[in-house]
Amino acid sequence: MSGAVWAHVGQPFEERAFDTVILGAGRMGTAAADWLRRTRPEQSLLLVEEGGLPNEEGATLLAAGLWEAPAQATDLAQRTLDCLEELGERAGWQPGVPLLTLETVPGPQSFPTAEALERWPELRGVIDPALWPWVRAQEAGLYRPGALALALGQRAVQAGAGLMLNTRAALVPGGVQLSRLTVTNTHEVVVHEVHQVQAGQVIVALGASGPQHAEESLGLHTRHGRAYVQRPRLNAPLTEQSPALRVPGLLLRPQSGGYTLYPAPRAADPHGYVPVPGRLSGVPVGLRREVLETLLTHMEGLPALASSALEVGRSLSDVPGTWVALPSGQPGHPPVLERLSPSVSLLLGGEQADVLGVGVAQQL
């Protein structure tokens, strides 16, 4: 039987105990909910999300959604792939997308960039073959992480999970405090009512704020960090068949007739860091300094980045950005599922969640 969905404060909520409460309905939280419904259907489950499903903020919506076969953790990647194939269109799954890694020296599977430019002439203005003379092609798949979270959340609800949206969750001893939010007619978000539920186990899947949340409520220091990432847009005349591109520290994902850029975070941002916009030729732009530095290192090899095709914006709010978790404080670290106390676990996605996220959630 389908579970209840509480989307707005008009719907009465009766306090009760749950076997499991999952905090956060990003792709990690929804993957955990889906998995628990399938493997432990006899247990009660509540999934709580501060925003909507999928939430318009957070790491999930701004993740690239690029699946590629990894060198390690292949079983976790396979589980993620199985899930994407099963959901198909519902997750925006598009298999068989070429991913070109640009190289300066040829590796065993490389071929000349000039050949790639013949096959994909639309990339002629994007790549300078003199600086990136070689490419390595592999097959990847693209999906929409927000659509994945929505599909997984819906499937969990259909299988009996309760879902509470627009509700801020906080860990309290023995359970969870739920603050149901509403918007006033002056557009202020206010707490309408507060509930407490008991939980046999709590899974903290709050994305970048998970570790801090655990620290504040449990007094447990973790080694995890977070970083502010941005997803600038590069307008390029792409077709449906255009490949994804990768250079060190930067992924270019074809999306709606252009590239969305995914500069990798370089390091964890210090506690209390507030993103600061950088300057280009002295003029303030919407990209943070670290992102600009990454793009600047590639402006010769990818000349389109140095043109007006790159949307730099005027202030930070012009360029989509979000906080992402850095498991273990390291960029590129795989997602983690960590037991913080006998009844609380932390589920962190981060940069590798595209490939390994669902697999790690299935370790519950």
Contact between 242 and ligand ADP by CB under 6 A: the answer reads no
Contact between 29 and ligand ADP by CB under 6 A: the answer reads yes
Binding mask 301-340 for ligand ADP (x = CB under 6 A): ------------------------x---------------
Give the nearest distance from C-beta 32 to ligand ADP in angstroms.
Answer: 9
The C-alpha atoms of residue 48 and residue 26 are separated, in whole angstroms, by: 10
Give the nearest distance from C-beta 29 to ligand ADP in angstroms.
Answer: 6
- Candidates 353, 356, 361, 364: give the one binding ligand ADP (CB under 6 A): 353
Contact between 51 and ligand ADP by CB under 6 A: the answer reads yes
79 burial via Cβ count (<10 Å: 0-12, 13-18, 19+):
buried
Collapsing DSSP to helix, strand or coil, 86 comes out as helix
- Candidates 36, 59, 361, 364: give the one binding ligand ADP (CB under 6 A): 59
Give the nearest distance from C-beta 102 to ligand ADP in angstroms.
Answer: 28
Q: Nearest residue by C-beta to ligand ADP?
A: 26
- Candidates 25, 81, 261, 346: give the one binding ligand ADP (CB under 6 A): 25
CA-based end-to-end distance of the chain: 23
* 8 A C-beta contact, residue 43 and residue 33: no
Q: Considering the complex, state which of residue 73 and residue 137 has its C-beta at the smaller distance from ligand ADP.
A: 73
The C-alpha atoms of residue 243 and residue 246 are separated, in whole angstroms, by: 10
C-alpha distances in Å from residue 249, one per residue of 184, 194, 329: 43, 44, 17
Residue matched to tokens 């994902």: 253
Contact between 28 and ligand ADP by CB under 6 A: the answer reads yes
Residue matched to tokens 């307008």: 235
Q: Considering the complex, state which of residue 136 and residue 195 has its C-beta at the smaller distance from ligand ADP.
A: 195
Give the nearest distance from C-beta 314 to ligand ADP in angstroms.
Answer: 26
Contact between 60 and ligand ADP by CB under 6 A: the answer reads yes
The C-alpha atoms of residue 23 and residue 46 are separated, in whole angstroms, by: 9
Contacts (CB under 6 A) with ligand ADP, residues 151-210: 168-169, 205-209
- Candidates 33, 37, 50, 97: give the one binding ligand ADP (CB under 6 A): 50
Contact between 55 and ligand ADP by CB under 6 A: the answer reads yes
Give the nearest distance from C-beta 152 to ligand ADP in angstroms.
Answer: 10
Contact between 214 and ligand ADP by CB under 6 A: the answer reads no
Collapsing DSSP to helix, strand or coil, 69 comes out as coil
Contact between 349 and ligand ADP by CB under 6 A: the answer reads yes
Give the nearest distance from C-beta 150 to ligand ADP in angstroms.
Answer: 11
* 8 A C-beta contact, residue 350 and residue 330: no
- Candidates 21, 27, 313, 344: give the one binding ligand ADP (CB under 6 A): 27
Secondary element (H or E) of residue 310: strand 310-311
Binding mask 114-153 for ligand ADP (x = CB under 6 A): ----------------------------------------
What's the longest Cα–Cα distance across the chain?
Answer: 66
State the DSSP string of 115-148: HHHHH-GGGTTT--TTTS-EEEEEEEEE--HHHH
- The contacts of residue 246 (CB under 8 Å, 6+ apart) are 99, 100, 101, 102, 252
Residue matched to tokens 């198909």: 88
Collapsing DSSP to helix, strand or coil, 282 comes out as coil
Residue (of 36, 344, 28) closest to 162 by Cα position? 36
Q: Considering the complex, state which of residue 54 and residue 263 has its C-beta at the smaller distance from ligand ADP.
A: 54
Q: Residue numbers of the site for ligand ADP (CB under 6 A)?
A: 23-29, 48-51, 55, 57-60, 168-169, 205-209, 325, 349, 353
